[in-house]
Amino acid sequence: MSALKKSAASHDFIAAGNFSGLLAAPPPDQEELSEILARSLAKECLSVAQTARLLAVSDPQQRLQIQQAAETLKRQVYGNRIVLFAPLYVGNHCVNDCHYCGFRTSNRDVQRSTLDSDAIAAQVRALEDVGHKRLILVFGEHPRYDAAFIACSVEQVYAVHSGPHGSIRRVNINAAPLDHAGYARVHAAGIGTYQVFQETYHRPSYARVHPRATRKGDYDWRLHALSRAMEAGIDDVGIGALFGLADWRYEVLGLVAHALHLQTHYGVGPHTISFPRLQAAHGSSVDERHLVSDEDFAQLVAVLRLAVPYTGLILTARENEALRRRVMAFGVSQIDGGTRIEMGGYTQADQAQDLTREQFHIGDERDLDTVIRELLEAGYLPSFCTACYRLGRTGEHFMEFAVPGFIKRYCTPNACTTLQEYLMDYASAPTRASGEALIAQEIAALPDDGRRQKLLSYLADIRSGRRRDAVF
């Protein structure tokens, strides 16, 4: 396929949305707000215009109603499960000059490197040794990180098995946009989700922070990146915006429009939405006009949850633990734990963050065991499940909502068995005690049928040291 082949559905769904006009309207009255919330609670996606109505709310009481509705929806759709993953930075060479990023080409102070296969293996062993099963590989944009290189890195990760139970079962990617042939190549390597963040959907702001002469200067090539990925056979894609570059409300509309665009043209929406907030980075400059306050951040997570009830929301360690705790309740389904974002950071886990090797500064430096214990104590069920992916139930996320009762019948028991494995193989004594208590609660909440018996027998196997590949 030609590198220049355009995506079949490449019309400008952002310009067509008239976001500025929608956002200029006065706030909704109580009746309109209640109608929109009722639609969400009936698990229907909101239109871009309806999402804009929620974003127009400024009254504190009405904002609270939105957050409470998001909490209810999150409980109904996802239950208390939280999926855990870790990012692994593979290479920080970059030809772009994004004003906000520590890896920008004009930052002469950053130490540049690329993990070779031995270095990848060392990082993956360190990650497996604390219990990780899901990784996202992160790359700068550089000709050396082409599709073949990315695919090869994925294969290297899957090949590493540390100790009797160490294995990475799902490798996601966050890398520069590829052409159709490139996506087909990385798809063949068995990737999970391919993420590309638009950074900002607001064209003038995009042009301000991405110099036109650089690869990333092409807004449209990036906007249609994941359409190309889907056309090349990747059915799990992740969209995102870097909050802090333009009006946060505009970005939320961009994300919702993008999700609806993919859903309409490819029959399946994005698997995940990420909403990183801009963090301080070495050698980068930040225009502070659009920085998002904690209050607005909480609001944007709640509105996203309500607008796209069935899309996973990813909250990263860019945020500090207090804020993470708060917004998790509004509808986050995945978080990272024990995160190090400096190159080679997982084998130097006792060292402080080093700004000359990392892309930006993170807010949550707790280790995985601590993150898991705190999740358990707050009543969440940490999950390392990758069952759908392993069984070829592709479009994992689609299954979760398309099949009634799927989460109860499959996701919850699989979360319990993967948590039990974690507790046996990697957890500290206090985390194990909290985990056993939570699993007991989950079992008690299951109907007393064959499925419960099957779960009890799997758990007994795991506790006695046996492992079987069987999943629900």
The C-alpha atoms of residue 65 and residue 57 are separated, in whole angstroms, by 10
> Does residue number 103 form part of the binding site for ligand SF4 (CB under 6 A)?
yes
**Cβ-based nearer residue to ligand SAM, 199 or 421:** 199
Q: What does the buried/exposed string (b/e) look like for 64-89 if buried means 16 or more CB atoms within 10 Å of the residue's CB?
A: ebbbebbebbbeebbbbbbbbbbbbb
Contact in structure between 19 and 253 (CB atoms under 8 Å): yes
Burial 392-416 (b: 16+ CB within 10 A, else e): eeeebbbebeeeeebbeebbbbbbb
> Both tokens of residue 161?
């098995």
- Separation between Cα atoms, residue 87 and residue 470, nearest integer Å: 27
Tokens of 322: 């207090």
- Bridge partners (DSSP) listed for residue 89: 138
Residue 183 engages ligand SF4 in binding (rule: CB under 6 A): no
Among the listed ranges 230-238, 279-287, 302-310, 377-385, the one in contact with ligand SAM (CB under 6 A) is 279-287
138 binds ligand SAM (CB under 6 A): yes
Q: Using an 8 Å Cβ cutoff, are 125 and 76 in contact?
A: no
Site for ligand SF4 in 212-241 (CB under 6 A): 216
Which residues in 253-269 are b (16+ Cβ under 10 Å) and which e?
A: bbbbbbbbbbbebbebb
Per rule CB under 6 A, is residue 358 in the interface with ligand SAM?
A: no
Alpha helices in 143-202 (DSSP H): 147-158, 180-188
For the record, the structure tokens of 279 come out as 């963090």
Taking CB under 6 A as the criterion, the residue among 17, 79, 131, 140 binding ligand SAM is 140
CB closer to ligand SF4 out of 93 and 408? 93
Smallest distance, ligand SF4 to C-beta of residue 433, A: 41
β partners of residue 266? none
Question: Contact between 329 and ligand SAM (CB under 6 A)?
Answer: no
Candidate residues 37, 101, 252, 262; the one interacting with ligand SF4 per rule CB under 6 A = 101
Choices 31-39, 135-143, 346-354, 403-411; region in contact with ligand SAM by CB under 6 A: 135-143
The rounded distance, in Å, linking the Cα atoms of 56 and 37 is: 14
In this structure, which amino acid lies at residue 297?
A: F
Pick one of ligand SF4, ligand SAM, none as the site partner of residue 104 (Cβ within 5 to 8 A by kind): ligand SF4
CB 338 within 8 A of CB 366: yes
- Bridge partners for 88 per DSSP: 137
Q: Judged by CB, which is closer to ligand SF4: 229, or 242?
A: 242
Range list of β-strands (E), 402-456? none
Q: How many CB atoms lie within 10 A of CB 109?
A: 9
Where does this chain touch ligand SAM (CB under 6 A) — which range of 169-177, 178-186, 289-297, 423-431?
A: 169-177
Q: Is position 360 an interface residue for ligand SAM (rule: CB under 6 A)?
A: yes
Among 41-49, 174-182, 260-268, 461-469, which window interacts with ligand SAM (CB under 6 A)? Answer: 174-182
Contact range with ligand SAM by CB under 6 A, out of 61-69, 275-283, 326-334, 400-408: 275-283
Using CB under 6 A, which residues numbered 37 to 96 contact ligand SF4?
A: 94, 96
Give the residue with the Cβ less far from ligand SAM, 247 or 442. 247
- From 26-34, 134-142, 287-295, 363-371, span contacting ligand SAM (CB under 6 A): 134-142
Closest Cα to residue 302, out of 83, 36, 82, 85? 36
Q: Applying CB under 6 A, does 276 fall inside the site for ligand SAM?
A: yes
* C-alpha dihedral (392, 136, 439, 371), degrees to nearest 10: -170
- The amino acid present at 338, given as its one-letter code, is G
Q: Look at residue 416 and give the partner it binds from ligand SF4, ligand SAM, none, a contact being a CB closer than 5 to 8 Å depending on partner kind.
A: none
Name residues contacting ligand SAM, limited to 96-115 (CB under 6 A): 100-101
175 binds, among ligand SF4, ligand SAM, none (CB under 5 to 8 A by kind): ligand SAM
- 3 state SS of 465: coil
The stretch near ligand SF4 (CB under 6 A) out of 11-19, 72-80, 100-108, 314-322 is 100-108
Asked if 341 touches ligand SF4 (CB under 6 A), the answer is no
318 touches which of ligand SF4, ligand SAM, none (CB within 5 to 8 A by kind)? ligand SAM
Instruction: Give the interface size with ligand SF4 as a residue count (CB under 6 A).
Output: 9
CB 172 within 8 A of CB 137: yes
Stretch of residues binding ligand SF4 (CB under 6 A), selected from 99-107, 154-162, 292-300, 423-431: 99-107
Q: What is the CA radius of gyration of the chain?
A: 21
Measured in degrees and rounded to the nearest 5, phi and psi for residue 334 equal -140, 140
- Decide which of ligand SAM, ligand SF4, none touches 187; Cβ closer than 5 to 8 Å per partner kind: none
> Binding of ligand SAM at residue 245 (CB under 6 A)?
no
Interface with ligand SF4 by CB under 6 A: which residues? 94, 96, 98, 101, 103-104, 140-141, 216
Interface with ligand SAM by CB under 6 A: which residues? 100-101, 138-141, 174-176, 196-197, 199, 242, 276, 278-279, 281, 284, 318, 359-360
